[in-house]
C-alpha cells in the first residue's frame, strides 16, 4: 500500500502533466521517447519493460539533448551494464537526476518494473523540458525570418517555374501538332511510344510543376495576406490565367494528338489485319493452285485408254466444281486488296502485284480448264470411235476367221467319190461356196476398212497404243493371210474337182479296161510299198529295178515314170528280159509306140496275168502321163516276174529231164497229178475268196489286202504257170500222140481242159467279186478314217479354243474391278459372245461328223460319241456361263455406276461445301473492330443472317453424308472392295463432319461475344453520357498488347474519360453479310 501511494503521488505530480498530441501521460511519454530516439541505431522504444534494458535508450535521450556529454557511436548493445552505468552517472552528475534504478536489476530481471522506469524517464522529460522551450522560442524567431525569406523565394521560384513551364509548353505544342508518319504500324507505334514517354516521363513533372506553381502562388498570397503584406503580382504573361490558358491549349493539342493516334492506330491496325488476312487467304489459294497449271497443261490423256480417259474426265468435272467453289476466295482476296488500297496501305504495290498475279493465274486456270475439258472431250470422242471400231472388228473378225478356218479345211479336205453324181455334187457345193465369196469379200473389205480407219485416226492424231485391240487377239494380218489362202485354194479345188470329173466321165463312158485299171490302182496302193531295193523308197527302188532290168536293151532309158514308158519299149524290154519266148525284141521299133504298148499289154494280160490297166492312146497322146498309174502297172511286172523267175528255172530243169525221155505216160501222169492239184487248190481257195468277215478296221482290211497281194504275188502265179503247163503238156501230149498215131488222150472225169477252164473261170469270178468287196470296204474305211481324222482335228481345234473358257467365265475378277475396268470387261465379254456364236458352226460340224461316223459303222464309235457328247455338254455349259457372266457384269456395272455417280456427286458437292466451311471458320474466328453501337448491331444482324442459312447448310451437310452412307451401304451389302475409295476427291466425310462441328461450336460462341460487346458499347455510351466524355479511346488487341502495360500510370492520371478496350475475334461485317453456303453449286 505504501508503494501504491508513492506511485500515485509520482503519477500525479511527475507524469500526469506530460501531454503529447492529446494522448495519456504514459502514451505521451512513450511517444516522446520514440521521437527523440528515432534517429539512433539499435534503439527501438516500444514499451517500458524491455526497451530500456540495454541502456542505449537512456544514452540516446542524453545525447539528443546534450551531445557534448557522451559519444554515442562508441556504445555497444552487447554491454548493457556499461551503457546503464554511463547514463545514470551522467544524468546524476550533469542533469541532477538521482540514480533511481539499479543496472543489475534491469539487466537480470526478465521484465523490469515499468513504473520505476517510467518515473525515471519522466525525470529526463522534465530535465529537458526547459531546453525545449528555449529551443521553441528560437525557432519562432527563425520562422519569422524564414517566412520573409520564403516569400521572396516563392516569388523567385514562381517566376522561374512559370517561365520554364511556359517555355516547355511552347516547345511541346509543335510536336503534338505534327501529323507526319511513314504510314506504317511500326512508325505509329514509335510515335505512340514517344507519346507514352511524354505522358509518363515528361508531362507528370510538368503537372507537378504546374500544381506546385499554383500551390506556391496560393501559399504566397496567403502568407502575404496574413502578414498584412500586399498581394503578389506576377510579371506580364506569367499570371495564373496565362498559365491556365497555355495548359488548356496544351491539353487541346494532346486531345487532338490522341484522336489522331487513335484514328491512325485503328486505320493501321485494320490495314495490318487486312494485310495478314490477305496474306493468309493468298497463301491458302496459292497452296491450292500450286501445280494446277502444270496439271491442266499436262498431256497425260494422250497416253490413256478409253476407260482411263473417262475417269480423267470425271475427275476433271470434280475439279471444275472445286474451281468454281474457289471463285469466292479469289473475290475475297480482290476485295481485301481493294480495301487496302482505299485505306492507303503502305505496301499497296506488293499487295496489288500479288493480287494481280492471283487474278491472272485464276484467269489462266479458267482458260486452261476449258481447254483441257475440250481436249478431253475431243480425245474421248476419238478413243470412243477407235474403241467402237475395235469392238466391231472383234465381233466381225471372230466369225469371219472361223469361216475362213472352216473354208480352208474344206478346200484342202480329201474327198472319195465313186460315181459321177458324187463328184457333180461336190462341184455343185463348191460352186455354191464360190457364190458366197462375193459376200465374203465384202465382209473382208468391211473388216479391213475398220482396221484402216483405226490406223488413220491413230496416225492422224498420234494416239499411242491406238492400234492395240483389247477385245481380240486376231489381227488384220491373220485375216488377210487366211483370206489370201482361201482365194488360192478355190481355183486349185476347181482343177482337182474338174480332173476328178473327167476321170469319172471316162469310167462312165465304158472304158472297162480303164475301169479295172483304176480299181486295181486303188487296191494296189498298198502293194507298191513293200518294194525295197538297197534301202531306197518304194518309188526309187522300183525305178532302179526297171533301170537294171532294161539296161542291156537298145533305145530304153528309164529315168522316170512320166515319159520313159511312153514308147512301150521299156515294157517290152521287161517282158523279154524275163520271158524272151513271148516276144522278139529285135523286131520292135521306137517309132511305133502304139504297137509296142499294145503288144506288151496283150502279152502281159495273156501270159503274165497282169490286167490291162493303161490305155496306149492315153500314154502316147498325154504330154505327161499319170505317174502313179504307170508305177502301179510296173509294180505288177515286178511282182509277176519275181515268181516267174523261179518258175522259169524249174521249167528249164523239167525241159532238161523231158529232153532225155518225154514219155507219154509220164506226161499223162503229170497231167493227172497237176490237174488234181490245181483243182484241189481252186476248191480250197474259193471259200477264202468268198469270205467277207473283217474287224471293220482299216488295219484289218489292209491285212486282208496284204493276204490277197501275197495270194496274187506268191500263190496264184505258180498256179497260173501250173495251168499253163497243164495246157502245154496236154497239147504236147496230144501232138505227140497224134504224130505217133496214138489215140488222143482222154483225161479222167472232171479233169478235162474244159473242167479246168470252168474252175479257173469260177476262180477269177470270185477274185473279181473279192476285189470289188475289198474296193468298197477300202473306200468305206478310208472315208471313216478320213472322217475320224477330221473329227479329231476339229475337236482338237474346238477343245483348244474352249480350254480355260469355263474358268474364265466362272471367274469373279469383276468383283475387284473399278468401273472403267468393268466396262472394258463387259465389252470384252461382248466380243467373246460374238466369238462363241461364231464357233456354233464348228460344234454342229463336229456333231454331224460323229453322226456320219455312226451311220458308216465306225469301229470306235463309242469314243467318238463320248467325245462329241463332252463337247456338246461343255458347249451348253459355256452358253449358260456366258449368260450368267453377262448378267453378273451388268448387275455389277449398275452397282459400280451407282457408286461412281455417288462419288462424283459427293466430289461436286463436298468441294464447294468444304470451301464454304473453311471460309465460315476463317470468318468466325476473324478479328473485328467496332466503335459504335450501330457497328456492333450491324455485326449482330449480319450474324443473324448467317445463322438463318445454317438450316440450308445442315440440309446440304445431311445430303452429302447421305451420299457417303449410301456408298457404304452398297459396298458392304455387295462386298465391293475399294468401293469406299473416292477417285474424284481427297476430301472425306470425316473432314466435312469435323469442320461442320467446328462451325456449329463457333456460332454460339460468336453469339455470346457479340452480345457481350453490345453490352460493353451500351455501358460505354452510358458512362460517356453521364460524364464529360469527349474522347472514347478504342484500341484493338495488338494496341492493347503493346500499350496497355506502358500506359497504366498515364491512364490513372487522366480523369477525363475511361478507356475501353475491345478484344474480339469474329467476322467482319462486310464479309459476314456476304457469306452464304454454296448449296447445289
Please provide residue 421's backbone torsions phi and psi, each rounded to the nearest 5 degrees.
-65, -40
pLDDT in tens, 657-707: 344 345 677 878 888 888 888 888 988 888 988 887 777 777 777 788 888
Q: Which CATH number does the domain 291-420+429-494 belong to among 1.20.58.60, 3.30.1360.200, 3.40.30.10, 3.30.450.20?
A: 1.20.58.60
Alpha-helical runs (H) found in 44-113: 56-65, 80-94, 103-108
State the pLDDT confidence band at 430, using cuts at 50, 70 and 90: confident
**Strand (E) or helix (H) holding 534:** none
Model confidence at 1074: pLDDT above 50: no
Cell numbers 467453289: residue: 325
pLDDT reported for residue 408: 84
Alpha-helical runs (H) found in 509-625: 512-523, 538-550, 569-578, 593-607, 616-621
pLDDT reported for residue 535: 53
- Assess contact for 309 and 380: CB atoms under 8 A: yes
Which residues touch 692 (CB under 8 Å, ≥6 apart)? 773
pLDDT reported for residue 249: 93
Model confidence at 168: pLDDT above 90: yes
Taking residues 952-961, report their average pLDDT.
90
pLDDT in tens, 552-605: 888 888 888 888 888 888 889 888 888 888 888 888 888 888 888 898 888 888
C-alpha cell at 88: 545514470
pLDDT reported for residue 513: 46
pLDDT reported for residue 19: 57
Residue of higher predicted confidence among 584 and 977: 584
pLDDT reported for residue 1053: 34
Task: Encode 745-766: b = buried (16+ Cβ within 10 Å), e = exposed.
Answer: bebeeebebeebeebbeebeeb
- Separation between Cα atoms, residue 19 and residue 547, nearest integer Å: 184
CATH number for the region 510-657 comes to 1.10.418.10
Model confidence at 157: pLDDT above 70: yes
Using CB atoms within 10 Å of the CB of residue 594, give its burial: 0 to 12 exposed, 13 to 18 middle, 19+ buried.
middle
- Assess contact for 1043 and 992: CB atoms under 8 A: no
- Separation between Cα atoms, residue 691 and residue 694, nearest integer Å: 9
Lowest-confidence region among 484-498, 699-713, 847-861: 699-713
pLDDT reported for residue 462: 77
Model confidence at 1: pLDDT above 70: no
- Assess contact for 514 and 615: CB atoms under 8 A: yes
- Separation between Cα atoms, residue 285 and residue 413, nearest integer Å: 77
Lowest-confidence region among 68-77, 442-451, 655-664, 993-1002: 655-664
Model confidence at 525: pLDDT above 60: no
Assessment of whether the complete model's pTM goes beyond 0.85: no
Which residues touch 201 (CB under 8 Å, ≥6 apart)? none
Taking residues 257-266, report their average pLDDT.
85
State the pLDDT confidence band at 132, using cuts at 50, 70 and 90: low
Lowest-confidence region among 73-87, 436-450, 476-490, 640-654: 640-654
Task: Encode 226-236: b = buried (16+ Cβ within 10 Å), e = exposed.
Answer: eeeeeeeebee
State the pLDDT confidence band at 651, using cuts at 50, 70 and 90: low
- Separation between Cα atoms, residue 836 and residue 8, nearest integer Å: 145
Which residues touch 375 (CB under 8 Å, ≥6 apart)? 301
pLDDT reported for residue 691: 81
Among 260, 216, 196, which Cα is nearest to 1054's? 196
pLDDT in tens, 336-359: 999 889 888 888 899 999 999 999
Q: What percent of the chain has pLDDT over 70?
A: 85
- Assess contact for 373 and 320: CB atoms under 8 A: yes
Question: How far does Cα 166 stand from its chain's mean position?
Answer: 84
Domain limits, the chain: 291-420+429-494, 510-657, 661-778
- Separation between Cα atoms, residue 346 and residue 188, nearest integer Å: 12
Taking residues 882-901, report their average pLDDT.
86
Taking residues 631-643, report their average pLDDT.
80
Cell numbers 503534338: residue: 176
Task: Encode 658-693: b = buried (16+ Cβ within 10 Å), e = exposed.
Answer: beeeeeeeebbebbeebbeebbebbeebbeebeeee
State the pLDDT confidence band at 82, using cuts at 50, 70 and 90: very high
pLDDT in tens, 84-128: 999 999 999 988 899 888 898 888 888 888 888 989 898 988 888
Model confidence at 410: pLDDT above 50: yes
DSSP secondary-structure letter at 70? -
- Assess contact for 98 and 92: CB atoms under 8 A: yes
pLDDT in tens, 804-828: 888 888 888 877 777 777 788 888 8
pLDDT in tens, 752-777: 888 888 989 998 899 888 888 878 77
Average pLDDT across the chain, whole number: 80
- Separation between Cα atoms, residue 621 and residue 733, nearest integer Å: 46
Q: Which residues pair with 1035 in a beta bridge?
A: 1061
Q: How many CA atoms lie within 13 A of 853 on its CB side?
A: 27
State the pLDDT confidence band at 133, using cuts at 50, 70 and 90: low
Q: How big is the chain by its Cα radius of gyration, in Å?
A: 72
CA 633 to each of CA 97, 322, 571, 610: distance values in angstroms, whole numbers, following the listed order? 191, 94, 10, 8
Same fold for the pair 510-657 and 661-778: no
Question: How far does Cα 860 stand from its chain's mean position?
Answer: 57
pLDDT in tens, 174-203: 988 888 877 777 888 888 888 889 888 888
Q: Which residues pair with 1059 in a beta bridge?
A: 1033
- Assess contact for 382 and 310: CB atoms under 8 A: no
Please provide residue 1060's backbone torsions phi and psi, each rounded to the nearest 5 degrees.
-110, 130
pLDDT reported for residue 883: 92
pLDDT reported for residue 1060: 31
- Assess contact for 956 and 795: CB atoms under 8 A: no
CATH 3.40.50.300 fits 661-778, yes or no: no
pLDDT reported for residue 1057: 32
Model confidence at 875: pLDDT above 60: yes
Among 918, 710, 892, 912, which Cα is nearest to 819's? 892
pLDDT reported for residue 1075: 46
pLDDT reported for residue 572: 92
- Assess contact for 396 and 833: CB atoms under 8 A: no
- Separation between Cα atoms, residue 474 and residue 405, nearest integer Å: 13
- Separation between Cα atoms, residue 153 and residue 670, nearest integer Å: 202
Model confidence at 16: pLDDT above 70: no
C-alpha cell at 571: 515294157
| DSSP sequence for 458-511 | HHHTT-TTTT--TT-S--HHHHHHHHHHHHHHHHHHHHHHHHHHHHHHHHHTT-
- Separation between Cα atoms, residue 923 and residue 477, nearest integer Å: 68
pLDDT reported for residue 367: 93
Model confidence at 160: pLDDT above 70: yes
pLDDT in tens, 599-627: 888 888 888 888 888 888 888 888 778 88
- Assess contact for 719 and 681: CB atoms under 8 A: yes
Angle between helices 512-523 and 627-660 (to 10 degrees): 90
Cell numbers 498559365: residue: 243
- Separation between Cα atoms, residue 351 and residue 333, nearest integer Å: 10
Which residues touch 988 (CB under 8 Å, ≥6 apart)? 982
- Assess contact for 787 and 863: CB atoms under 8 A: no
CA 548 to each of CA 522, 559, 574, 601, 673: distance values in angstroms, whole numbers, following the listed order? 27, 11, 10, 21, 38
| Residue 472, phi-psi category: left (phi > 0), alpha (psi -120 to 50), beta (remainder) | beta
pLDDT reported for residue 751: 82
Using CB atoms within 10 Å of the CB of residue 565, give its burial: 0 to 12 exposed, 13 to 18 middle, 19+ buried.
buried
End-to-end CA distance of the chain: 112
State the pLDDT confidence band at 362, using cuts at 50, 70 and 90: very high
State the pLDDT confidence band at 1025, using cuts at 50, 70 and 90: low
Taking residues 989-1007, report their average pLDDT.
89
Amino acid at each position: 500500500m505504501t508503494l501504491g501511494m508513492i506511485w500515485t503521488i509520482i503519477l500525479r505530480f511527475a507524469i500526469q502533466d506530460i501531454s503529447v498530441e492529446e494522448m495519456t501521460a504514459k502514451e505521451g511519454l512513450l511517444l516522446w521517447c520514440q521521437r527523440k530516439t528515432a534517429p539512433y541505431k539499435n534503439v527501438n522504444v516500444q514499451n517500458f519493460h524491455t526497451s530500456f534494458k540495454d541502456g542505449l535508450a537512456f544514452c540516446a535521450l542524453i545525447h539528443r539533448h546534450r551531445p557534448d556529454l557522451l559519444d554515442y557511436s562508441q556504445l555497444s548493445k552487447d554491454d548493457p551494464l556499461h551503457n546503464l552505468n554511463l547514463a545514470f552517472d551522467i544524468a546524476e552528475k550533469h542533469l541532477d537526476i538521482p540514480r533511481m534504478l539499479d543496472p543489475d536489476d534491469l539487466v537480470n530481471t526478465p521484465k523490469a518494473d515499468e513504473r520505476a522506469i517510467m518515473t525515471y524517464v519522466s525525470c529526463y522529460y522534465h530535465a529537458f523540458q526547459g531546453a525545449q522551450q528555449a529551443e521553441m522560442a528560437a525557432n519562432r524567431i527563425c520562422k519569422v525570418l524564414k517566412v520573409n525569406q520564403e516569400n521572396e523565394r516563392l516569388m523567385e521560384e514562381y517566376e522561374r517555374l512559370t517561365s520554364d513551364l511556359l517555355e516547355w509548353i511552347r516547345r511541346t505544342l509543335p510536336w503534338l501538332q505534327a501529323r507526319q508518319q511513314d504510314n506504317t504500324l511500326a512508325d505509329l507505334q514509335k510515335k505512340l511510344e514517344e507519346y507514352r514517354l511524354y505522358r509518363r516521363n515528361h508531362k507528370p513533372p510538368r503537372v507537378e510543376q504546374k500544381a506546385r506553381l499554383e500551390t506556391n502562388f496560393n501559399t504566397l498570397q496567403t502568407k502575404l495576406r496574413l502578414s498584412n503584406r500586399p498581394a503578389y503580382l506576377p510579371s506580364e504573361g506569367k499570371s495564373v490565367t496565362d498559365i491556365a490558358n497555355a495548359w488548356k491549349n496544351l491539353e487541346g493539342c494532346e486531345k487532338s494528338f490522341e484522336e489522331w493516334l487513335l484514328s491512325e492506330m485503328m486505320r493501321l491496325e485494320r490495314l495490318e489485319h487486312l494485310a495478314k488476312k490477305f496474306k493468309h487467304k493468298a497463301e491458302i489459294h496459292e497452296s491450292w493452285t500450286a501445280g494446277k497449271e502444270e496439271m491442266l497443261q499436262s498431256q497425260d490423256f494422250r497416253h490413256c485408254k478409253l476407260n482411263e480417259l473417262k475417269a480423267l474426265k470425271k475427275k476433271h468435272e470434280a475439279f471444275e466444281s472445286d474451281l468454281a467453289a474457289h471463285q469466292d476466295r479469289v473475290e475475297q482476296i480482290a476485295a481485301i486488296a481493294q480495301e487496302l488500297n482505299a485505306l492507303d496501305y503502305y505496301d499497296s504495290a506488293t499487295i496489288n502485284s500479288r493480287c494481280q498475279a492471283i487474278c491472272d493465274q485464276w484467269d489462266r486456270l479458267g482458260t486452261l480448264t476449258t481447254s483441257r475439258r475440250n481436249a478431253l472431250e475431243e480425245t474421248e470422242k476419238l478413243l470412243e470411235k477407235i474403241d467402237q471400231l475395235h469392238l466391231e472388228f472383234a465381233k466381225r473378225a471372230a466369225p469371219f476367221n472361223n469361216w475362213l478356218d472352216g473354208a480352208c479345211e474344206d478346200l484342202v479336205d480329201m474327198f472319195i467319190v465313186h460315181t459321177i453324181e458324187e463328184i457333180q455334187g461336190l462341184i455343185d457345193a463348191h460352186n455354191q461356196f464360190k457364190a458366197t465369196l462375193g459376200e465374203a469379200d465384202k465382209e473382208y473389205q468391211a473388216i479391213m476398212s475398220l482396221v484402216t480407219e483405226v490406223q488413220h485416226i491413230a496416225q492422224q492424231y498420234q494416239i499411242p497404243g491406238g492400234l492395240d485391240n483389247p477385245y481380240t487377239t486376231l489381227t488384220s494380218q491373220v485375216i488377210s493371210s487366211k483370206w489370201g489362202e482361201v482365194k488360192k485354194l478355190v481355183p486349185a479345188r476347181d482343177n482337182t474337182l474338174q480332173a476328178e470329173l473327167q476321170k469319172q466321165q471316162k469310167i462312165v463312158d465304158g472304158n472297162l479296161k480303164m475301169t479295172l485299171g483304176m480299181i486295181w490302182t486303188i487296191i494296189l496302193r498298198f502293194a507298191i510299198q513293200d518294194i525295197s531295193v538297197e534301202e531306197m523308197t518304194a518309188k526309187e527302188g522300183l525305178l532302179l529295178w526297171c533301170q537294171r532290168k532294161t539296161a542291156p536293151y537298145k533305145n530304153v532309158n528309164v529315168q522316170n515314170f512320166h515319159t520313159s514308158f511312153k514308147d512301150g519299149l521299156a515294157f517290152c524290154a521287161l517282158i523279154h528280159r524275163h520271158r524272151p519266148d513271148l516276144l522278139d525284141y529285135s523286131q520292135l521299133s521306137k517309132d511305133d509306140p502304139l504297137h509296142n504298148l499294145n503288144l506288151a499289154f496283150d502279152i502281159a494280160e495273156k501270159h503274165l496275168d497282169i490286167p490291162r490297166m493303161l490305155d496306149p492312146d492315153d500314154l502316147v497322146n498325154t504330154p505327161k502321163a499319170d505317174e502313179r498309174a504307170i508305177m502301179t502297172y510296173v509294180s505288177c511286172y515286178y511282182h509277176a516276174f519275181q515268181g516267174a523267175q523261179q518258175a522259169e528255172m524249174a521249167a528249164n530243169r523239167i525241159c532238161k529231164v523231158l529232153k532225155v525221155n518225154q514219155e507219154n505216160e509220164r506226161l499223162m501222169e503229170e497231167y493227172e497229178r497237176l490237174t488234181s492239184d490245181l483243182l484241189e487248190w481252186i476248191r480250197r481257195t474259193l471259200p477264202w475268196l468268198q469270205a467277207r468277215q473283217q474287224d471293220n478296221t482299216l488295219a484289218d482290211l489292209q491285212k486282208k489286202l496284204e493276204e490277197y497281194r501275197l495270194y496274187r504275188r506268191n500263190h496264184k502265179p505258180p498256179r497260173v504257170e501250173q495251168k499253163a503247163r497243164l495246157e502245154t503238156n496236154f497239147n504236147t501230149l496230144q501232138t505227140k500222140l497224134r504224130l505217133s498215131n496214138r489215140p488222143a488222150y482222154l483225161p479222167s472225169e472232171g479233169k478235162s481242159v474244159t473242167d479246168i477252164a470252168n474252175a479257173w473261170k469260177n476262180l477269177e469270178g470270185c477274185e473279181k467279186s473279192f476285189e470289188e468287196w475289198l474296193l468298197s470296204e477300202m473306200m468305206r474305211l478310208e472315208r471313216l478314217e478320213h472322217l475320224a481324222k477330221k473329227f479329231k482335228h476339229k475337236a482338237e481345234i474346238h477343245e483348244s479354243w474352249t480350254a480355260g473358257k469355263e474358268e474364265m467365265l466362272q471367274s469373279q475378277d469383276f468383283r475387284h474391278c473399278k468401273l472403267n475396268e468393268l466396262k472394258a470387261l463387259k465389252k470384252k465379254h461382248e466380243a467373246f459372245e460374238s466369238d462363241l456364236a461364231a464357233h456354233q458352226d464348228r460344234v454342229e460340224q463336229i456333231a454331224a461328223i460323229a453322226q456320219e461316223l455312226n451311220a458308216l459303222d465306225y469301229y470306235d464309235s463309242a469314243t467318238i460319241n463320248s467325245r462329241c457328247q463332252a463337247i456338246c455338254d461343255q458347249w451348253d455349259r459355256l452358253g449358260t456361263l456366258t449368260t450368267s457372266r453377262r448378267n453378273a457384269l451388268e448387275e455389277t456395272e449398275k452397282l459400280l455406276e451407282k457408286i461412281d455417280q455417288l462419288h462424283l456427286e459427293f466430289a461436286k458437292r463436298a468441294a464447294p461445301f468444304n470451301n464454304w466451311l473453311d471460309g465460315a471458320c476463317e470468318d468466325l474466328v476473324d478479328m473485328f473492330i467496332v466503335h459504335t453501337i450501330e457497328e456492333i448491331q450491324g455485326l449482330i444482324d449480319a450474324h443473324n443472317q448467317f445463322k438463318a442459312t445454317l438450316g440450308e447448310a445442315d440440309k446440304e451437310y445431311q445430303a452429302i453424308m447421305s451420299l457417303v452412307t449410301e456408298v457404304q451401304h452398297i459396298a458392304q451389302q455387295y462386298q465391293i472392295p475399294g468401293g469406299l475409295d473416292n477417285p474424284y476427291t481427297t476430301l472425306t466425310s470425316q473432314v466435312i463432319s469435323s469442320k461442320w462441328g467446328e462451325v456449329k461450336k463457333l456460332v454460339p460462341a460468336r453469339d455470346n461475344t457479340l452480345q457481350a460487346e453490345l453490352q460493353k458499347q451500351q455501358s460505354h455510351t452510358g458512362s460517356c453520357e453521364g460524364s464529360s466524355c469527349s474522347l472514347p479511346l478504342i484500341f484493338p488487341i495488338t494496341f492493347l498488347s503493346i500499350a496497355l502495360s506502358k500506359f497504366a500510370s498515364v491512364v490513372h492520371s487522366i480523369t477525363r474519360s475511361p478507356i475501353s478496350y475491345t478484344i474480339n475475334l469474329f467476322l467482319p461485317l462486310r464479309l459476314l453479310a456476304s457469306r452464304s453456303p454454296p448449296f447445289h453449286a
